[in-house]
Every structure is written in structure tokens, then in C-alpha cells.
Structure 1
Amino acid sequence: MTEHEMFKATIYPIDSDSNKVIILTPDYIFDEVKQDEAEQFIESVYGEEDFIDSLDQNKVHNIDTIVRVSSNQKTHIITVKTKVNGKKETDFLSIDNRERTEQFLQELYQYLKDDCSFQVKEYSRWTAAFKPLLALLIIIGSGVFLTWFAQEAQNGLSRTRVVKASVYYLYKAMAFIGPTGAIIISGIALLIGMAVLAYRVKNPPIMTFIKRNN
């Protein structure tokens, strides 16, 4: 992490193997900026507007548009949710280690504290398991339905039955994979869901939230 006093800006490395960084200023988050471009910006070779124009606009976040930031303290991934002209978007930032991630969140909150709240929430094992369990139930239900649907599809459409084009193509797809294929796909999804559940129960998250006040 590098701080520059010419104007308030902090550089956070994305990872040790990349030459790209994140720049945090009181007004913007610039993501996936090349190291040399970041240094030129910091040294005021670029004006801010020219610098913004030179970047991928999907990687420039005006902090006034941020509605929610969250991060699991056991990882170094940050989820940023923004809202621009009524359109909500979600982006993910990665900083090279957990300590710098925490520093980034603390600094970002200093810029947002007049309009946002800061919260750290430690999940219990049961709370951490809730969403994965719900996902497992959905997978099981979907698997049963798709297996039945595939069987019906292989039996063929009734000539007198009128269906929408989208349903027809679904029939064709399910007829192709058949009930065995549906069972295999559902089984793989179920195994993935069980692995996620086991991981969440074993490692319940400690979440940091920055939320815009209503």
C-alpha cells in the first residue's frame, strides 16, 4: 500500500504477481490500473478527468454511487454494490492480503461515514449454513422436477398441445439429455452445494459491511 500526500490517494496492490493496482481517492475507486499509469496519475502527469477517460469505465466507481460494501474478513475479496440512475450493479475488488483489505475498508469508510454506517458481523455456524441449506433444497426440488420433465420430454409432445417456443426448446433440450442426464447434472450440483455448506459451517464468515443510510 502506498500513500501520496500531494493529494489524497492510496494505491493497493491487487496481487503479488500482477502489475495492476487499485487507487482509492476521496471521490473514486479506480480498479485494475496498471502500476506505471497509477504512478503517473499520482504524480499528476494526468488530470483526473483525463485519467478517468483513459480507463475502462466499468472499473471506475464514483464513491457517491456506492450503496453497500461487504467483505469476509477471512478472505481478501470486497463486494461493491452501486446504483447509478436507478440501475444497480455489483463488482468485486481483490487486494493482495487481508490486512490491506481491512485498511482499504477503513479508509473508504472515512470518505463515506457521513452517509454510511460501518458494521462487523460474526456469523454463527447455523446462520452461515442457512443460505447453503436453502440452495440445497432448491437444487433437490429442481432436480426432481427436471428429471420428471426430461422423462415427459422423451415421451414426446402431444400433437394437440400448444406450447410457447421457449418451452418447446426446453422440451428438446431435456429430451436430449434425458432423465439420466438430469440426475447426473442435479447430482453434481448437489455435491457442489454440499461442499459449500460444509465449508461455510466449518468457516463461518466474519463480515464487514459499509451500508448507505436510508
Structure 2
Amino acid sequence: MEIENLTGGYGDTNVIFGLSARVHAGQVLGVFGRNGVGKTTLARLIQGSLSPASGGIVFRGKDIAALKAYQRRAIGIGYMPQTNMVFNDLTVLENLCIGNPSRPFEPYFDRFPRLAERLDQAAGTMSGGERKILAFVRTMLEDTDMIILDEPSEGVQPENIGLMAQCLRERVEAGAGAFLCEQNLSFLTEVADHYLGIDQGKAIIDRSAADISPQEVRSALSL
């Protein structure tokens, strides 16, 4: 996926300004920045729930900027939003099955056994961290080639964040690309192959993981 001079936001109010980035298959792009700098807006522009004011979004060589969110999902772009990430009235199992999973549940149940124990429980009765894990696993199960994750570790216990990192790396090593918006530095540094730091809707860092230190990432997060 290539993002080319992307500008957009909400109605007449732009939040992202002329931003460009690239995510290869087998790569995690770690997008970071303070709260309110535009990470979620960027994720939604790529996913399709927001329409860009200008610029291109190219997936597999085709400009998809005019496609709706459901059309982007149909061509292999998955999405885990930061909020409202599960259907509260549906059970855990029903939530997992929504995306037509193409992968077996068992490896994820081995890592997150609470899901297996609560298959018949309404997702809305789970804790915030448990709902995050449920949404994350559902996204990992889907047959998608590009995965957009918006703050997946927020509210999740540290030991489970490490397991999420393992799952994400496995999906990427199997050929997916991932666009990860995240403020958790340990999660970022464990999985990211390339970093895109943004502030006020513009890129301030665009560097490979080999060319940037965790201290530099931490400094950018505190700007």
C-alpha cells in the first residue's frame, strides 16, 4: 500500500496534510504521535470510513481512494478501530465469526484462553481490555492482506500485549502488511519494521527501525 500526499479529515476540517507513506507485504509500519495529532483520522482515511480531500491511496497498484469502506474490506483490507471495536450484544463466538474467519481459532485460544472460556458470553459484559483482545483476535483471523490496527494495546494487560505482538508478527511473516497506530512504546519497538511519526497531521519521522532508536521515538512522543 502506498499513501501519496494524503490530505483529509472531517467535512471541511482537514486533520491530515500531505502525508505520504508505504507499507510492504511482510512489514509493520508503526505510526505514532501524541493524542490528537491525527493517527485515528489517518487510519480511517486508509480504511475508508473517511474520504480524502486530496491525494492517493494505492493498494496492489490500484488507487482505492474513491472506494467505500466495505469495498476496501472486500479487496483485503482489515480494520480494528480504537473504540466500538466489538458488537456488544453478540457473543464472543459471534463476534469472532463476523469477519468470515479463514484461520483456526485454537492457536489464539491457546494464547488467550479467556476467550475460549467465554464463547457464549455477550461481548459487552467483558472488560475493556478483554474486548480489545477479542477485536484483535477477530482481525487476525480474517483473510486480509493489509491490517489496520488503531491503538490495539490500549487497556490490555502487559502480558497479553506481548502475546498480541507475537500474533501480529506471525501474520506479517505469513505475508500480510500491517499499519499499526500505537502509543505503547514497548509494543511498537517489538513489532515495527518502519516508523512514521506524525504531529499536527504531518510526518515528522519516516525511518526504518534500524535507523531510529527507542529514545528517539520516545522523544517524538513527548513533543
TM class by shorter-chain length? under 0.3
Greater Rg by CA: 1
Greater relative contact order (CA < 8 Å, ≥ 6 in sequence): 2
**TM-score normalised according to structure 1 size:** 0.20
